[in-house]
Amino acid sequence: MTVASREQIGEARRIVVKVGSSSISGANAGQIAPLVAALAEAHGRGVEVLLVSSGAIATGMPYLKLDSRPTDLATQQAAAAVGQNVLIYRYQDSLDAFGIVAGQVLLTAGDLENPTHRKNAERAIEKLLELRILPIVNENDTVATHEIRFGDNDRLAALVSVLVKADLLVLLSDVDALYTRPPLEPGAVRIDHVPFGDDLAGVVIGSVGTGIGTGGATTKVAAARLAADAGAAVLLASTAQVAQALTGATVGTWFDPAPSADAVPAVR
């Protein structure tokens, strides 16, 4: 179905939620439990929920005794290999309280551009959802090259939302919305609603991430447009607002989806 407004979020059949590294690692690792609680509430009312989670490298860093994000690819891959294991354990530990089992799905953006890989991923995710398993998707950082250095999981989340024909994509970070300019700058105003096709003229979109993750407003807006073009509504909000976001509260920035007749597949 088309979720045309926040008020219709409760009617969504399938929702993809993406969370950034800085929101669930380091000092913010405690946000995993409330995030899982919000996902479990939606799952409990019959929604098919998928989580796209960054954070493998950031989670693995302390175990490799690293004080800052590594810059060389091999160490990034090593941190991701350790961190992904810990990250999934933390999610499952919180999900156990709700009787929900997680299913780990590791992809690269390239997998979703390869027809055979994309079909295999779609089939696996659909079966997990049919079995009421909660898929947790992350980029396969141990084999990624370009993506691990220059991207974030915003685009991957948008591609996943297209793949599974999600009704809604929720992009969570440590910023509560899209603003007319970087939110720490004087005069920044929160944008509540972005109509479909709005080019955001006059809006200054920053591209700098936190230093823990690699994304920023630029990647989120690009991902929102990709998903909206394919017919999914998109909500940008903070991780702390996830429970409100999934119940239709007026939080974050809402991107209208393409009208049903005009929705076009973003991945071929």
Annotated binding site: 18, 54, 141, 153, 173-174
Torsion of CA 262, 53, 11, 177, to 10 degrees: -80
Sequence-ordered list of residues with C-beta below 8 angstroms from that of 12, at least 6 positions apart, any chain: 1, 3, 47, 167, 168
φ, ψ for residue 232, nearest 5 deg = -100, 135
Provide the residue count of the chain: 268
Strand partners, 17: 51, 170
What is the dihedral sign for C-alpha 61, 65, 70, 72? Answer: negative
Could you give the CA distance from residue 268 to residue 264 in angstroms, rounded to a whole number? 10
Q: From residue 96, how far is each of 45, 92, 99, 110, 184 by CA, in Å?
A: 17, 6, 5, 32, 38
Please state the residue numbers annotated as binding site for ATP. Answer: 18, 173-174
Could you give the CA distance from residue 34 to residue 242 in angstroms, rounded to a whole number? 8
- The residue written with tokens 């509540």 in the block is 192
Burial class (CB in 10 A: 0-12, 13-18, 19+), 92: middle
Could you give the CA distance from residue 14 to residue 20 in angstroms, rounded to a whole number? 20
